[in-house]
Structure 1
């Protein structure tokens, strides 16, 4: 899941990255990616996520695409909505409050043009319910979980699906990625206390407290939360596929995390039901429990939907700041993630932690063979058994 402290660090590094860029390095990176593409090409989606503002100028977009292409990635997932505004000229919302932009310049449009030259697919990333700015005040109140929009409001669900549709319809994107797909907590707004009582016959304020009792059955509360969040996912999925029938709808999450489940997150079911094509099960720890994730995957109707998202950084400790993970360990994690993937590739978080040493190891090791993206999409309408199809 998202790490806001990392995002701030990325923002501070953004100016330094631009200063270090030179025209010579841009040309070298582009030539390298073209040369690698001349040989045999495999079919594997290799995605990397960027939660920062590392790509919002012409120069930085060139540098990002050059570096990830050199490493061997072919899918770039940049965060275009982090609950602060947009990184594209929107008719529905203001610019991101952290974005340094030039008048008349479209960062997302430029990124798509640049990525196309490198053979990279772009999947704009939306932190759906996250709110990091005091705006759109009709979409939350004092009872809404902190730093969140209220997913129980139909007006918010309509707004968010329209906002994502705006990108899917206006830009030549290959997919969209959803994150923070949950309520973020349990509301205590009077309107939802009454709504919960009417739909379940239970007391929301009481259930907020008794949920902490070990073993207490919270199925009514979970179902009530999930109904709202699922409606939002359905709206986004249908609108994006209406804009582009072949679009890939992916999601970052953890399908069994108990707190996320309590907040209405049900990503495994959404994958099984065909609302999302790809489920990035995000685990950045040094030694993810791949056996446990295999068990989750085996229980899914569409096991091919699950991709394990691994991390390329080490968390901060009392004696060490956040730092890039050892390159060989990153390569090992990708190899382990490949043992679970059934057609939807691999995924790494986070671009700002991708250093030159990792690039060198990836391009000569796990990503040595060039690859074009491959997806196994949900296609429930064409197949009553929900079996996916490749793109």
Structure 2
């Protein structure tokens, strides 16, 4: 309940907003193939500290059979409140799933360019896409190693073939692939995986470089400090180079890393704690794949402690991996544990294994954290554009009919907005007196959610109000929530240059106010004209209406002629110029 006021601007013209709202549909999520995810595009490193993110790793862009299938997957992801999609575009075999002249493109990659369609579909739904590269693995379809076999790493072992990550030519090649996808597709971010050596390389290049440092790598252990430091510094140089590029392009940079930091640094040259210290990534995603809840918690606590808040930790969960296979309950428990232990999000491996029940369970974890970054209106996902919890103690973001009637008060261990007396205000036509509108926030379709507390003695018309579509003092809608319904109470009203008129299509007999806080949610769809008001956890709205008179306007809080308090205000929509 206690965060700082934060306004996020997503500007679009009224005409474009209405056109987009009619065209875009976001209902279900991706099903049946593989991918990865994260949230809008407010810019690199924009996650608020109190938010809890959800990303998904996914495989094989080329497996989508059609553009319609991509759209269906994007809808499913949006419904699951996925913030970042991380689709693999360069696998361990060295071939790529995007259009480029720098590497071999998978022959099954369709001409209609699924990556482009996917990025477009996700962006319309506020989902970020970070194309995922298996960086230094170069398997049987690698153009790099086919043309330059001497660039292969030697002595690394394992199932994959690796290029020597220490060589500048190899780093130039991999950087060129990242730049190619960034230039051609303009994604929201880029993702690092296999950003390591694959083991300890003893190729001729590494031998020569270490010999100049007085170290014979044929005779020392991999833990030799000078050797470890040189190898780790070379990987860090690559990450720093890519970070400089993404920052210039206003893109994010995320990285999948080994869950054990000490072994990652010594055996894989992956010094991800240093990356956090240098601030050269926007997200660290430790691959914490395990069936054991205790192990998961222990490692998550370690990751959060090592990074110490310098960059967000999004804990990797292996829903189905070589080391883990989780039930829906176990998946949700790991996500909740990550949240409780201080991680800023989770990343699930992988999309193809995630059922609708899995998504529902993880979304509930996000909702409990109060960080579902998108809301849905008429099948369209809309981003968070305004929030206020009044912890900064100011009313700079608000415009009241009588500012003297409003103040910040301390209640329940935090600050709230209080309407503590009647406003000295005489409206032109019969309408509420106590109105406080959010400044500089004009929306079309929207979802408004907040907590409300009535501080008036009980009587039939004891009320609290919400205002929307406000264009001037004589043109707006308002919701009047009161103990009893009649022609002037507990209804949805319009003020259209004449005294307010009830336009409710359905409503309850009354909504009982007491001395407790209640959660109210107002949903407005300008395309259909629908208005719905929800109270606490009731599944059905307490009142509805259909009216298309005002398709844009400001929103706010207040009362017809009573007093009350307001807190944790969140508004989802798109700002209209």
TM-score (norm 1): 0.73
Tell me which residue corresponds to 2:224.
Answer: 218
**Structure ranking higher in helix proportion:** 1
**Shift, 1:29, TM fit:** 8.0
Corresponding residue to 1:119 among 113, 126, 133: 126
Tell me which residue corresponds to 1:250.
Answer: 254
The 3-state SS of whatever aligns with 1:279 is strand
Instruction: Note the residue ranges of structure 1 that are not aligned, 5 or more in a row.
Output: 1-26, 34-41, 212-216, 317-321, 375-391
Tell me which residue corresponds to 2:26.
Answer: 30
**Shift, 1:150, TM fit:** 1.2
The alignment covers a number of residue pairs equal to 320
Change (3 A) 1:152 1:277: same
Is the 8 Å Cα contact of residues 304 and 342 (structure 2) preserved in structure 1? Answer: no
Tell me which residue corresponds to 1:336.
Answer: 337
- When structure 1 is superposed on structure 2, of 71-80 and 354-363 the one drifting more is 354-363
**Shift, 1:171, TM fit:** 2.2
Change (3 A) 1:341 1:192: same
**Structure ranking higher in strand proportion:** 2
1:102 aligns with 2:110: yes
Tell me which residue corresponds to 2:217.
Answer: 204
1:277 aligns with 2:293: no
CA distance in 1, matches of 2:131, 2:103: 16
- When structure 1 is superposed on structure 2, of 332-341 and 354-363 the one drifting more is 354-363
CA distance in 2, matches of 1:221, 1:280: 26
Tell me which residue corresponds to 1:7.
Answer: none
**Shift, 1:367, TM fit:** 4.6
Is the 8 Å Cα contact of residues 255 and 265 (structure 1) preserved in structure 2? Answer: no
Change (3 A) 1:253 1:198: same
CA distance in 1, matches of 2:364, 2:301: 28
What is the aligned-residue RMSD (CA, Å)?
Answer: 2.9
CA distance in 1, matches of 2:320, 2:328: 10
Is the 8 Å Cα contact of residues 255 and 266 (structure 1) preserved in structure 2? Answer: no
Is the 8 Å Cα contact of residues 87 and 96 (structure 1) preserved in structure 2? Answer: yes
Is the 8 Å Cα contact of residues 152 and 162 (structure 2) preserved in structure 1? Answer: no
Is the 8 Å Cα contact of residues 55 and 107 (structure 1) preserved in structure 2? Answer: yes
Corresponding residue to 2:67 among 58, 61, 73: 58
Change (3 A) 1:304 1:290: farther
The 3-state SS of whatever aligns with 2:27 is helix
Change (3 A) 1:229 1:314: closer
Instruction: Note the residue ranges of structure 2 that are not aligned, 5 or more in a row.
Output: 1-22, 30-49, 375-382, 385-577
Tell me which residue corresponds to 1:145.
Answer: 156
TM-score (norm 2): 0.51
**Shift, 1:336, TM fit:** 0.8
CA distance in 1, matches of 2:329, 2:153: 47
- When structure 1 is superposed on structure 2, of 359-368 and 287-296 the one drifting more is 359-368
Change (3 A) 1:267 1:363: closer
**Shift, 1:91, TM fit:** 2.7
User: Which structure ranks higher in relative contact order (CA pairs < 8 Å, sequence separation ≥ 6)?
Assistant: 1
CA distance in 1, matches of 2:262, 2:189: 28
CA distance in 2, matches of 1:304, 1:170: 28
**Shift, 1:296, TM fit:** 4.1
Change (3 A) 1:193 1:123: same
1:356 aligns with 2:356: yes
**Shift, 1:228, TM fit:** 1.7
CA distance in 2, matches of 1:241, 1:28: 30
Corresponding residue to 1:184 among 182, 198, 215: 198
